[in-house]
Structure 1
């Protein structure tokens, strides 16, 4: 099956939209493939032609939602991470609603964290020649540091109800971390 086939695109869009709707109302661990298919008006057999399971679909959904962010040049993402998130992630309110609802769902959070780690790891590996950091710091440690710092800032923003402009948050972020683009 070609990924550029319009039927494939429409089916994947219907299934991912269905999952996104269900995630606003049900914990991920309780959502079944049958529910996703019923909501999307897609047969189960068709679902399994495109995805292995609901975890694979969640990973696909997350990749689709963050595609514009990761398509942005790494210099923007490293130098202005929160401005870039603000500029590239659409429907942030809906996503925040899902994140808040799924907060206690360990399965959802595990999949999300693993996808983030994989994407960021690949991203930093592919761009390590452009990242200017002390030579004593191993390259494979960079994405752990960067990722955990981003996660820490996101928790801080949420927990402390920080409502600052993304530019101000980026300034503080750069005072904490010393990673630059060559």
Structure 2
């Protein structure tokens, strides 16, 4: 995430530094101002409050991701290519920002990401037969999207995450292997 203004970047970085050591709900505007070593006026020139900082981070990251998803072809044949080759590097570079969003308001973040990006998965389930599997299509789509999102969040939440190249291998292995195969168990109905 690129931030042009030096003072705005200091505020965001101060917020991130503080959130690494304490619960976001306990961080005050004064804490951010003191940590960034800026004046109160400088803070309010850029943000109304810490929620405004979180919204700025979300919007900035979404904009970066949207620029990549624009390149998904009309048949959605290259969705996973765009995801692994273009989006994963952005997610990796912005992992500290994304971790804050995820930890601060995970249900809302999932809802936002789902409504914004799950449309790219819909074509993969065009031939899905609910009668054959006995699982409603909306549930399968939600589950699959959640698996992708949780795999990404588990990756970037590690103290030292795998490189993008290493994670791509893990990611493809995860989504192409059933959970029973991975766990080595048989689940009975």
Shared fold per TM-score greater than 0.5: yes
> 2: distance between equivalents of 1:151 and 1:162?
15
Asked which structure has the greater CA Rg, the reply is 2
The answer (yes or no) to whether the contact 2:24–2:104 under 8 Å persists in 1 is no
> 2: distance between equivalents of 1:162 and 1:14?
25
Q: Which runs of 5+ in 2 are unaligned?
A: 131-136, 179-189
- TM-fit CA distance, 1:154: 4.2
Q: 1:87 aligns with which of 75, 84, 89?
A: 89
1:105-131, Cα deviation, whole Å (9 max, x unpaired): xx9624244234313412345x57x83
> 1: distance between equivalents of 2:35 and 2:51?
17
Q: TM-score, normalised by structure 1?
A: 0.58
2:38 aligned with 1:32: no
- TM-fit CA distance, 1:162: 9.2
Q: More relative contact order in 1 or in 2 (CA 8 Å, sep 6+)?
A: 1
2:166 aligned with 1:168: no
Q: 1:131 aligns with which of 118, 123, 126?
A: 123
Counterpart for residue 143 of structure 2:
145
Q: Which runs of 5+ in 1 are unaligned?
A: 1-5, 178-182
> 2: distance between equivalents of 1:72 and 1:115?
19
- TM-fit CA distance, 1:85: 4.6
The answer (yes or no) to whether the contact 2:29–2:50 under 8 Å persists in 1 is yes
CA 1:37–1:111: 2 relative to 1, 3 Å? same
> 2: distance between equivalents of 1:14 and 1:89?
21
CA 1:134–1:77: 2 relative to 1, 3 Å? closer
> 2: distance between equivalents of 1:95 and 1:17?
10
1:18-64, Cα deviation, whole Å (9 max, x unpaired): 21222233332221111112222333344345434212212322443
The answer (yes or no) to whether the contact 2:33–2:40 under 8 Å persists in 1 is yes
Aligned length: 157
Q: TM-score, normalised by structure 2?
A: 0.56
> What is the RMSD computed on CA atoms of the aligned residues?
4.2
Structure-to-structure mapping, 1:1-182, within 5 angstroms = 9-65=5-61, 67-73=63-69, 74=72, 78-80=79-81, 81-91=83-93, 95=96, 99=99, 109-125=103-119, 131-134=123-126, 137-138=137-138, 142=141, 144-154=142-152, 165-175=166-176
